[in-house]
Amino acid sequence: MTYLWLKAGHIIFVVFWMAGLFMLPRQLIYVHPAAPGSEEEALWAKRMGLLRKIILTPSLIVVWVLGLLMGIELGLFAGAPGLGWLHAKLLLVLVLTGFHGFTVSQSKKFAGGERPLSEKQLRMLGEVPGLLLVVIVILVVVVRYA
């Protein structure tokens, strides 16, 4: 029973984390045209800060903790056979976590008046979490049982 509650909690916080990873690049696109130091920039900086503190960072931590607890249960650190899907998944989740870190660092630069990325680059950046989500879910739902 405990394992199923871990998995339920894991999927719930995966959804929260993905929602935050879709929203932050979008917020960067909205703050991009704002004049550095303007009231509009300050308003988006506040919104991005709240998104980081209330949704993104807590969800990242809960997804990892519950995911690793289930991984331990499946023998991830005991060399259990047949976990290729989980190893591949973890590699992609590390990339997703890197994306999280990169986008958060960009949001702090934008809040400080910098615009290191163009709007076109931000739109491309916004596609990354969706692509990773598709492959991760196929790994854990299809490849795992193939």
User: Considering the complex, what minimum distance in angstroms separates the CB of residue 74 from ligand HEM?
Assistant: 5
- Shortest separation between residue 134's beta carbon and ligand HEM, angstroms: 9
Backbone angles phi, psi at 117, to 5 degrees: -120, 145
Q: Residue 124 or residue 141: which is nearer to ligand HEM going by CB? A: 141
CA atoms of 144 and 142, how far apart (whole Å): 5
Nearer to ligand HEM, 56 or 90 (CB): 90
Decide if 66 contacts 95 (C-beta within 8 A): no
- Would you call 141 helix, strand, or coil by DSSP? helix
- Which of 55, 111 has the CB closer to ligand HEM? 55
Q: Which residue is nearest to ligand HEM (CB)?
A: 67
Minimum CB separation of residue 46 from ligand HEM in Å reads 27
Nearer to ligand HEM, 48 or 86 (CB): 86
Question: Contact positions toward ligand HEM, by CB under 6 A?
Answer: 7, 10-11, 14, 18, 63-64, 67-68, 70-71, 74, 86, 90, 93, 96, 133, 136-137, 140-141
Amino acid code (one letter) for 85:
W
Residue 101, classed as helix, strand or coil, is helix
Q: Are 70 and 10 in contact (CB under 8 A)?
A: yes
CB of 111 to ligand HEM, least distance (A): 26
- Are the C-beta atoms of residues 123 and 29 closer than 8 Å to each other? yes
